[in-house]
Amino acid sequence: MVALRQEEMQRLAEKTVSLAQTRGADEAEAFVYQGLTTNVSIERGQISKSSRIIDRGLGVRAILGKATGFCYTNILESEAAIEETVLKALSFAKASKPDEDWRGLPSKKAFSSVEGTYDDRIVELNSEELVEVASAMLDAAEKIDKRIFPIEGGAGSSYLCKAVANSNGVEGFDHGTIVECSLVTIAKEEGKVTPICFEFDIKRKYDINPEWVGKEAAGLTVSALKAKRTETKNIKVIFTQFALQQLLQYTLINAVNADYIQRNQSAFKNKKGEKVASEIVNIYDDGLFDGGLRTWKFDGEGVPQQKTPIIEKGILLNYIYDNYTAKKEGRESTGNAWRAGYLSTPSVEATNFHIIPRNKSPEELISELKDGLLVYYLQGAHSSNPVSGEFSVVATPAWKIENGEIAYAVKGAMLVGDIFQVLMNISELADNERKIGQLISPWVCAENVKVIGK
């Protein structure tokens, strides 16, 4: 399938909006999305699969009075299909109920400029080159230790484009690239299996390091062997970015979401200006972060992305908004409308949730702990209470730290608490910032976390 060009995507968005208006919509918005992805997969110790996925489509919001109808389609070849989509959105707007809080689609604003989000070399990457990337990673891992078994992983590249237009004159196009490689491994020894361990590298520019990923994944896995039970007590815990990302996406990131605030689902309601975290904690929602995985010129409804201070020196400053939740409070959107490509209407989401690092290396962080736990990954974070921020999860893989050194791998340890307590108890942040999903963060050390060992 031939990829749509920028002009074609923009013209389609604009044409759809005027068609919707001609057919009777009071307001209309069109969102055109195109994703071209090439993947090479490792399965059970070998590269055995490659795929090419082309997904594109159009989502239309039509508003009648204060009622919204939405329809998407992935049939873009015919005028008739586009017209049908518009008419369906309109008929659903007619059938739906008015929303008294509706204050209109976003108005036109200059888009932000962003850096480090697009690289021609990624667009041109083919499966043969990705096989080389995956292969280098696999070879590096296997050289580390005979006991490891790479169970899955691979290398992939994506070229993503989006165009938006609405009846207030908003129109825009942005495109970006992503390249990644990842390796999931286990190790076996004397009939015992480690939990799954993994490492990855993901970038908007083509500068990933597959050998590093392979080596790190394998090293991590070997060190997870010979795991022991630990005791039940409250100790200091170092969360790596993996563990943090899992925990925060189901708790803290919801707590600053304006939709949660407005609907009485957040412990942060009416807490602006109050201390909600230890004073070394500074967090921004930074939709413009250089090379950020969620950095774009505009959000899911054509509002410029921006950098919003969330927590500074432990004080809660702002929530994140899309157009709807912002207008409900008579304020401006913070550019946090997220969409699942062309398949969904916008909802409030973090862009790059950036926890600002401090000065210590991760090694220093470990060396300062007399008695602690280093937690790489959490099992069951999605079962946290998204409203109260309470969690009860398994830390795996995790390592016991004794007298400033990693003593042994721990198995089956549970961590229990609530995210707001953890925020207050953060005693140090390392300098090793990295990007994972919507999070940009260093390792974080929190005091007094309850660990249930047996």
Per CB under 8 A, contacts with another protein among 139-168 are 149, 151-152
- Smaller CB distance to another protein: residue 47 or 426? 47
454 near another protein (CB under 8 A): yes
- Smaller CB distance to another protein: residue 63 or 366? 63
Tokens of 2: 């031939």
362 near another protein (CB under 8 A): no
Site for another protein in 278-297 (CB under 8 A): none
131 near another protein (CB under 8 A): yes
191 near another protein (CB under 8 A): yes
Site for another protein in 23-82 (CB under 8 A): 38, 40-41, 43-57, 61, 67-75, 77, 81
Based on the number of CB atoms within 10 Å of its own CB, is 24 exposed (0-12), middle (13-18) or buried (19 or more)? middle
- In the 8-state DSSP scheme, what is residue 383? G
Residue of 263, 313, 358, 370 that binds another protein (CB under 8 A): 263
- As measured in angstroms, the least distance from the Cβ of 225 to another protein is 11
Residue of 80, 110, 128, 273 that binds another protein (CB under 8 A): 128
Q: Angle at the Cα of 164 (from 161 to 165), degrees rounded to 5?
A: 155
380 near another protein (CB under 8 A): yes
Give the span between the Cα atoms of 297 and 388, in whole angstroms. 33
Residue of 16, 85, 305, 352 that binds another protein (CB under 8 A): 85
| 397 upstream amide cis, omega within 30 of 0 | yes
What is the DSSP track for 82-114?
A: HHHHHHHHHHHHHHS---TT---SPPP-PPPP-
Give the span between the Cα atoms of 268 and 266, in whole angstroms. 5
- Smaller CB distance to another protein: residue 13 or 186? 186
How many residues form the binding site for another protein (CB under 8 A)? 91
Give the span between the Cα atoms of 231 and 373, in whole angstroms. 11
Residue of 25, 160, 252, 393 that binds another protein (CB under 8 A): 393
- As measured in angstroms, the least distance from the Cβ of 5 to another protein is 17
Which residues make beta-bridge pairs with 319? none
- Smaller CB distance to another protein: residue 20 or 355? 20
21 near another protein (CB under 8 A): no
Give the span between the Cα atoms of 309 and 206, in whole angstroms. 30
Evaluate whether 35 touches 52 at the Cβ level (below 8 Å). no
Residues comprising the chain, all counted: 454
